[in-house]
Amino acid sequence: MTEKLVPRTKHADLVRPAIGEFARHELALLGAPCGDIQRLAAGITAALTPAHRIGYVDADHTSGDADPAQSLSPLLQAGAYVEVTDKIHFRRGDERRALDRFSQPELLAGADLVLVNGNHFTARQQLVLIDPRKSLAHKLDKLTDVQAFVLAEGVAEIPDYLRAHLPHYARLSRFAWADTAGLAAWVAQWRAARQAPLRGLVLAGGLSQRMQTDKGRLRYGPTGLEQREVAAGLLAPVCHDVLVSCRAEQVAELPQGLQALPDRFLGLGPLGGILSALQFDPNAAWLVLACDLPFLTADTLRQLVAGRQPGRLATAFQSPGSEFPEPLLTIFEPRAYPELLRFLSMGYSCPRKMLINSDVAVLPTPGAEVLQNVNTPAEREAAQRALAG
């Protein structure tokens, strides 16, 4: 009998984040002298700040002609690998590590939109600057996904070589170089159109040690539905779809109609469910809802979604009675995934720790009773009485 061979898989089948050379959302500006590109990028940045966190990537033209050793700080000349300087109003880090597609996104992790000097670097999408002083005929390979044109003063037409290279050129937006406000408004719309889809996640995989019974299976109010069903029903109208975070042994017992997402990060409590969702789809934003909030209303969820700020790592309500964000009713944007992993690597498994110490939007508390969680048998009995009618 011949043994059937099973193909060997070298790597785990993971969904990769949709990251370009530097960030999820990046635009290269190319086709003009570098100084003009920098000034245009500064104008766009000024118009979009503070609603957006803008990053900028360029090369240092002055140091290229200098002795590399002399351009280093004394500490780097002495052999230091990295030097961090607190400049009071900003921080600067100088390091010897080379730029590459793996380190670049890490350096720009705090930005939700990155502008790139395309004369020196490539980016996934491009803004083509039409300037008689600079031809792009020898850089057509960089024009992989042109989004719009910016025309210098006196320029009225797209050059023939660009028309031939970009058959769809007539459909692309055009801006006068002096129209910084119009261009910035277009960039803001361009970024908004690429907002991550919102998926829902019910956290129902806890051990419920204080409750002494599965909190997701408790029933409150006249509907007779399990709490994990209620939570999924609340999420459904505001999310693309809804999954239920659970332990592997809970999958078979989920009520009909609920889609299970078994935990892939084990022994981490709520963080494990959140990370499992972000690993499952790292290109979606996840509206996370714990199953132990029986007083939560659909109106409260609509408030959260309406207040969503995709340019931040997350959007959350302020917890009742504290100044901290509520982690178990939060929209985690795709950029929160590496940040949560970073905190985990430092030994922190509490999602709130990341929210407190990161760039997140915190909305006013919608009401103490709405976010009241139920963790003990006594609290359960009180909640059942309050919701009985």
Domain ranges in the chain are 26-62+72-193, 198-387
Compute the distance between CA of residue 181 and CA of residue 216 in angstroms, rounded to an integer: 50
pLDDT at 374: 80
Compute the distance between CA of residue 99 and CA of residue 116 in angstroms, rounded to an integer: 14
Distance of CA 384 to the CA centre of its chain: 38
Closest CA to 328 of 245, 263, 266, 387: 245
Q: Provide the token pair at 372.
A: 């009241």
Compute the distance between CA of residue 175 and CA of residue 299 in angstroms, rounded to an integer: 41
Compute the distance between CA of residue 225 and CA of residue 95 in angstroms, rounded to an integer: 57
pLDDT at 98: 85
> φ, ψ for residue 94 (rounded to 5)?
-115, 130
| CATH 3.40.50.10330 corresponds to the domain 198-387 | no
Q: Residues with Cβ < 8 Å from 129, sequence gap 6 or more?
A: 29, 30, 31, 32, 36, 37, 40, 149, 150, 152, 177
Partner residues linked to 125 by β-bridges: 27
pLDDT at 375: 79
For residue 101, give the H/E element and its range. none
pLDDT at 125: 97
pLDDT at 66: 59
pLDDT at 218: 82
Q: List the CATH code of the domain at 26-62+72-193.
A: 3.40.50.300
Read off the pLDDT of residues 196-239 as tens digits, 9 standing for 90 and up: 999 999 999 776 667 756 777 788 877 888 889 999 999 999 99
pTM of the complete model: 0.91
pLDDT at 340: 97
Give yes or no for a contact between 355 and 364, defined as CB atoms under 8 angstroms apart: no
Q: What is the DSSP letter of 364?
A: P
Low-confidence stretches of the chain (pLDDT < 50) are none
* Dihedral sign, Cα of residue 136, residue 140, residue 142, residue 145: positive
